[in-house]
């Protein structure tokens, strides 16, 4: 065997020490990651509370600048993630590799695995946007802007669902899949810590034990906090609307029909308090139990729409929408629309910035949290099973949900049965308005209560999962010691971030802060994709030469990646 061949098939890196404190308040945690992360989030909270006007203005300018300058980057990055996911799952050499050693088996059943993925990565958004997304695109989308369809008519339905499926489909879940794969692959096959920096080990090696690794984890923590804040902001608004729908009082809403300050405080106390308690119990107890519960409640709500809703119309939407989406996906994955000085051209370009680019930034900001969480619950699965499970299954579930729940709302609007109450209300109230238009008052009340409970379980699952992931990153990948005091800190911090930004500028302020936080992690995620490709490629070389490429965690090897 030549020296060149030996270098190509050197053993993988199995030792990535991350210094943590041995005593004191930060015992078991990396001060280089935890303290800077806490300072950044604390400064954001103080700035938003102490200087709300300045914070609102700066966030607005930053949002406009980032979206405009990096729109093409986001579109091409997400398109590349989807292509790479397809390749890794399809190739026999990569698809059969396992996230773990030969004897490792999945820790969770496929039902619990799917439930936790769906709850942590999507549940709240689906409750808010299952009606809101199709209805928004029914009123305005690039096809309508180009004059090829008329808003709020039947000929706008197909285009509305192409874009709804785009934003909740395969591309979005491919982001989660690759981030989680990069982390889980080296954690379970090479014994590296379950944290973001480990995913870059095939590229940067032992340098990740120092400041470069600390910087990666800090970026991931900040992006996670801001990403979960958008989801919780949506959850708070819809939770408050639900409490108002079931008769908890008009004091819950402000004059503009958004959540009032007392309602925001109450909702955050309930949500974050319950989330913190659940996080203290760990993944195998509270989070698993809540994930299974919210999936069951989701099926009950789904069954209600299947029986009382527009099932045939929704089935047609699903079948036709899926075909249209798959056909249009190659072009939509990489097309970027630039202003051209015309009304149509400028309108389409702005629409893409407001919708598609915002969505890709949101999913990327959520990727360190959901990617790490998915990696945490995916040990023992093959690369092919992992990618198909993470990319295909949840996306199809989104399509079914958007078709049935959203399709029912669309038909109510088109037929006039909604009497203008569905389109005329705020986004966070549209699901409740659809239920009210669909059912008699008694059933509508009962299912509004169910939605409130379902929303609460989804919010708690997302928040407590995010808290545990942040704590794991801060602890250098160690998730065995929950760090109770730090869990409570991050629970309070998330509540203050959501509350302060809602007061500064509502959901728009939270979205803007998230987009800012997502930009640095978008570059990290691109490197993670390159790193996992390199890791898989080198392992296929090792296997061809009969060299073991899954090493027990306690083993030490040369720092070749």
pLDDT tens for each residue of 44-69: 888 888 888 788 788 778 877 887 78
Predicted local confidence at residue 126, as pLDDT:
74
Residues contacting 348, CB < 8 A, separation 6+? 142, 145, 146, 337
Instruction: Examine the pLDDT at 438 and tell me if it is beyond 50.
Output: yes
Q: Is residue 26 part of a domain?
A: no
H helix intervals, 246-310: 261-281, 288-308
What is the DSSP-derived secondary structure letter of residue 250?
A: G
Return the bridge partners of 286, or none: none
8 Å CB contact between 356 and 166: yes
**36 vs 373, more confident:** 36
28 in a domain, yes or no? no
Given this model, what pLDDT does residue 311 score?
92
Is there a domain that residue 550 lies in? Answer: no
What is the distance between the alpha carbons of residues 173 and 391, in angstroms, rounded to a whole number? 5
Least confident segment among 305-309, 376-380, 409-413, 455-459: 455-459
Q: Is residue 189 part of a domain?
A: yes
Q: So what's the pLDDT on residue 276?
A: 75
Asked if residue 14 is part of any domain, the answer here is no
Inform me whether the pLDDT recorded for 8 exceeds 50.
yes
Most confidently modeled range among 61-75, 298-312, 447-461, 500-514: 298-312
Per-residue confidence (pLDDT) for residue 552, from 0 to 100: 60
Segment of 29-43, 56-70, 273-287 carrying the highest mean pLDDT: 29-43
Confidence (pLDDT) at 547:
76
pTM of the predicted structure, to 2 decimals: 0.89
Q: What is the pLDDT of residue 75?
A: 95
Summarised one tens digit per residue, pLDDT across range 168-205 is 999 999 999 999 999 999 999 998 998 999 999 999 99
Tokens 């308040």 locate to 25
The alpha-helical segments, DSSP class H, found in 100-210 are 110-121, 123-139, 142-145, 157-168, 170-190, 201-204
Task: List the single range of 33-37, 83-87, 110-114 with lowest mean pLDDT.
Answer: 110-114
Provide, rounded to the nearest whole percent, the portion of the chain with pLDDT above 70: 92
Q: Flag whether pLDDT at 345 surpasses 70.
A: yes
Indicate which CATH number applies to the domain containing 361.
1.20.1730
Residue 477 falls within a domain, yes or no?
Answer: yes
15: in domain: no
Instruction: Report the number of distinct structural domains present in the chain.
Output: 1
Give domain status of residue 558, yes or no.
Answer: no
Give residue 364's domain range: 33-544
pLDDT score of 560 more than 50: no
CB under 8 Å to 272, separation ≥6 — which residues? Answer: 463, 491, 492, 494, 495
- Which residue carries 């989104």 as its tokens? 398
């Amino acid at each position: 065997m030549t020296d060149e061949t030996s270098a190509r098939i050197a053993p993988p890196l199995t030792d990535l020490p991350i210094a943590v404190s041995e005593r004191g308040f930060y015992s078991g945690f990396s001060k280089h990651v935890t303290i800077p992360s806490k300072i950044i989030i604390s400064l954001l909270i103080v700035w938003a509370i102490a200087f709300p006007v300045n914070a609102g203005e700066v966030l607005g300018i930053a949002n406009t600048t980032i979206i405009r300058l990096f729109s093409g980057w986001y579109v091409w990055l997400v398109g590349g993630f989807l292509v790479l996911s397809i390749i890794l799952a399809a190739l026999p050499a990569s698809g059969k590799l396992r996230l773990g050693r030969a004897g490792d088996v999945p820790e969770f059943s496929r039902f619990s695995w799917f439930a936790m993925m769906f709850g942590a990565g999507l549940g709240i958004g689906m409750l808010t946007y299952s009606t809101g997304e199709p209805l928004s695109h029914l009123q305005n989308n690039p096809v309508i802007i180009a004059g090829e369809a008329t808003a709020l008519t039947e000929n706008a339905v197909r285009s509305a669902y192409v874009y709804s499926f785009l934003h909740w489909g395969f591309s979005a879940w491919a982001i989660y899949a690759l981030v989680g794969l990069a982390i889980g692959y080296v954690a379970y096959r090479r014994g590296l810590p379950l944290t973001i920096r480990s995913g870059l080990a095939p590229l940067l090696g032992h340098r990740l034990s120092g400041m470069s690794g600390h910087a990666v984890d800090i970026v991931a923590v900040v992006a996670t906090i801001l990403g979960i804040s958008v989801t919780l902001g949506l959850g708070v608004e819809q939770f408050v609307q639900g409490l108002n729908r079931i008769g908890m009082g008009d004091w819950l809403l402000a004059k503009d029909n958004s959540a009032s300050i007392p309602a925001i405080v109450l909702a955050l106390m309930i949500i974050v308090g319950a989330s913190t308690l659940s996080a203290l119990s760990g993944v195998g107890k509270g989070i698993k139990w809540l994930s299974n519960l919210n999936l069951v409640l989701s099926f009950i709500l789904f069954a209600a729409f299947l029986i009382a809703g527009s099932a045939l119309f929704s089935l047609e939407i699903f079948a036709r929408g899926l075909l249209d989406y798959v056909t249009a996906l190659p072009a939509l994955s990489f097309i970027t629309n630039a202003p051209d000085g015309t009304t149509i051209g400028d309108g389409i370009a702005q629409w893409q910035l407001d919708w598609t680019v915002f969505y890709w930034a949101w999913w990327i900001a959520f990727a360190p949290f959901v990617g790490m969480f998915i990696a945490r619950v995916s040990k023992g699965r093959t690369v092919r099973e992992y990618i198909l499970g993470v990319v295909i299954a949840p996306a199809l579930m989104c399509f079914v949900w958007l078709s049935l729940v959203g399709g029912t709302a669309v038909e109510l609007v088109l037929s006039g049965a909604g009497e203008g109450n569905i389109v005329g209300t705020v986004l966070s109230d549209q699901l409740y308005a659809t239920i009210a238009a669909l059912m008699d008052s008694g059933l509508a009340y009962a299912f509004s209560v169910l939605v409130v409970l379902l929303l609460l379980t989804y919010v708690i699952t997302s928040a407590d999962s995010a808290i545990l992931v942040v704590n794991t990153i801060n602890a250098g990948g160690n998730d065995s010691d929950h760090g109770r005091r730090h869990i409570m800190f991050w629970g309070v911090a998330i509540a203050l971030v959501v509350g302060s930004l809602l007061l500064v500028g509502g959901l728009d302020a939270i979205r803007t802060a998230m987009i800012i936080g997502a930009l640095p992690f978008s570059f990290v995620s691109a490197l993670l994709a390159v790193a996992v490709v390199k890791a898989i490629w080198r392992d296929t070389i090792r296997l061809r030469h009969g060299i073991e490429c899954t090493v027990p965690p306690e083993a030490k090897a040369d720092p070749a990646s």
